[in-house]
Structure 1
Amino acid sequence: MTMAFACWRGGACTILVVAAFVVAGCGAADSGAVADADAAAEAVDPREQFAGTWRLMRTERYDQRGEPLSDLMHPTIGLADVLGYLMYDGDRFGRIVQRVDRSAEDIQAALEGYEAYFGAYEVREAEGYVRYRIAGSVNPRLTGTELESFYEFSGGQLVLTPGLRCPDSYVARNGCAYGTTGIQLRHFWDRVAPSQESGAAAEPFHGFWAIDRLERQSLDGGDLSASQYADGYLAYMPSGQMAVQLMRPDRRRYEGPRPTAAEAEAAMETYASYFGPFSLEPGEDVVVHHRAGHLDPDQVGTDARRAFAFRDGQLVLQPPVSTDAEGREVQTSVYWNRVSARDSAAVAPTRD
């Protein structure tokens, strides 16, 4: 085996452990079979092996030489107890990882303990990495950027190795500047099996949905203004897990690498996100989101009931009626467009 650095845009580096295999003695008679096998491999979309829901099981830490990193070194990176899910469908993905010890009393820690982003991805199979194009992130600095991770499938797990992290220093071309020990993280994800509880009734939900618009009406029939989201995904997966991420327009980037208290508050006010299992109410057109994780720590463990309808190719969700500042009873409707690769013909017929 050999060890080498691979560097991303901006100079961040990661370590590759490369195994070299030499194949000899293949005669000309085998060339046709090899060509057929290569053609069959090329016909398979490499994203198919990613499709589904993955739960984060553990994270391993190494220094920039590939040696295991002591827990005493940079304990704030990669050691926390977390709950995290990664969802892939077609060319879309969503990722959320939440520290379980977050508290609303410290808004900066609450924000930094909730990592969430979504967008499109591609698999560079020949190079062995996956590229994520981030359409939206709870961290405004990530929105519109790209992240790349080496990947491997090992023992039924997806192992992702992102770029080398260098805390409190700048990243140099071949490692970390100013003598800081770099941190190489390796994330191990288990595939979540399809749920047997949701059944056929949940199939029309499965896939990724993109936000279209919000509408608000008073119960007396008057249309009200509604603040719109710039982008966002809602995912319902065959695993029985769901996740939502919504981003307001014109969010401001942090001035520094970490947010101030004011910047953290603004980031949380302009982003909505939670995740967890979902279920359907028997005999009702109601889906319940059981929020195992939430950007707002005070909302972890709560349920969100949403009336639903499939209408004109869209999914329409309605939270319970609320009362606005003027005392009017208001019904909000959230419209979603399907963006997953799933066959649209399988979507349930119109239900009102």
Structure 2
Amino acid sequence: MANTLRERLIGAWMLVSYIEKPVDSSDPFYPMSEKPMGIIMYTPDGYMSAQLMHPDRRSFASGDWFDGTDEEYKQEASTYIAYSGPFHVDEEKQSLTHSMFVSLFPNWTGQTQPRVVKIEGDLLHLSTATPIVSNGKEVNSFLTWRRG
């Protein structure tokens, strides 16, 4: 049985919920809908990959990913989050960081972001450790994943 936080993270997790709560106490929102789709994976050799999307994404009319309209590209990028890279666990502090080697959002490429992590049975709860800017507001993100 896995004992360390790192050992318990290893594997694939399916996205259950993703909510963003503004620090100004305004209404929370669901950037990928109330029924988001996604997978986060942690590998034994220390890498992770997160892919999240809105379930109702529209196909490009051309069928060619290099031949979309401006609106199709905007929709494509605003309904998907993707990044991958090394992850690090501090067992003593029970903390986790994600390092973005690649990211759909170019501003995150090269960043290392701390996560608040809690595992309860087959559920993984991740949240931002500090606020991020999303949809024009400073927010904290809260995600729940179920072991795949």
Give the TM-score of the pair, scaled to structure 2. Answer: 0.78
CA separation of 1:290 and 1:212: change in aligned 2, threshold 3 A: same
Partner of 1:288: 97
Partner Cα distance (1:259, 1:328) in 2: 29
- Within a 5 Å distance, the mapping from 1:291-310 to structure 2 comes to 291-310=100-119
Size of the aligned set, in residue pairs, is: 140
Could you list the per-position Cα deviations for residues 81-116 of structure 1 after superposition, in whole angstroms to 9, with x for gaps in the alignment? xxxxxxxxxxxxxxxxxxxxxxxxxxxxxxxxxxxx
Partner Cα distance (2:25, 2:73) in 1: 38
Partner Cα distance (1:334, 1:225) in 2: 12
Partner Cα distance (1:296, 1:215) in 2: 18
Could you list the per-position Cα deviations for residues 149-204 of structure 1 after superposition, in whole angstroms to 9, with x for gaps in the alignment? xxxxxxxxxxxxxxxxxxxxxxxxxxxxxxxxxxxxxxxxxxxxxxxxxx944110
Aligned with residue 128 of structure 2, among 307, 312, 319: 319
| Higher gyration radius (CA) | 1
Using the TM superposition, give the Cα deviation of residue 329 of structure 1 relative to its aligned residue in structure 2, in angstroms. Answer: 6.7
Partner Cα distance (1:298, 1:259) in 2: 23
8 A Cα contact 2:86 2:101, kept in partner: yes
CA separation of 1:210 and 1:254: change in aligned 2, threshold 3 A: same
CA separation of 1:304 and 1:295: change in aligned 2, threshold 3 A: same
Partner of 2:38: 232
CA separation of 1:253 and 1:222: change in aligned 2, threshold 3 A: closer
Higher relative contact order (CA 8 A, sep 6+): 2
- Within a 5 Å distance, the mapping from 1:1-352 to structure 2 comes to 200-217=4-21, 224-227=28-31, 228=33, 230-256=36-62, 257=64, 258-281=67-90, 283-322=92-131, 330-339=139-148
Partner Cα distance (2:103, 2:36) in 1: 20
Could you list the per-position Cα deviations for residues 109-153 of structure 1 after superposition, in whole angstroms to 9, with x for gaps in the alignment? xxxxxxxxxxxxxxxxxxxxxxxxxxxxxxxxxxxxxxxxxxxxx
Runs of 5+ unmatched residues, structure 2: none
Could you list the per-position Cα deviations for residues 238-261 of structure 1 after superposition, in whole angstroms to 9, with x for gaps in the alignment? 011100111112111111122223
8 A Cα contact 2:100 2:111, kept in partner: yes
Give the CA RMSD over aligned residues. Answer: 2.9
Give the TM-score of the pair, scaled to structure 1. Answer: 0.35
Of Structure 1 and Structure 2, which has the larger fraction of its residues in strand?
2
Aligned-partner SS, 1:203: helix
Letter in 2 for 1:338: R
8 A Cα contact 1:216 1:223, kept in partner: no
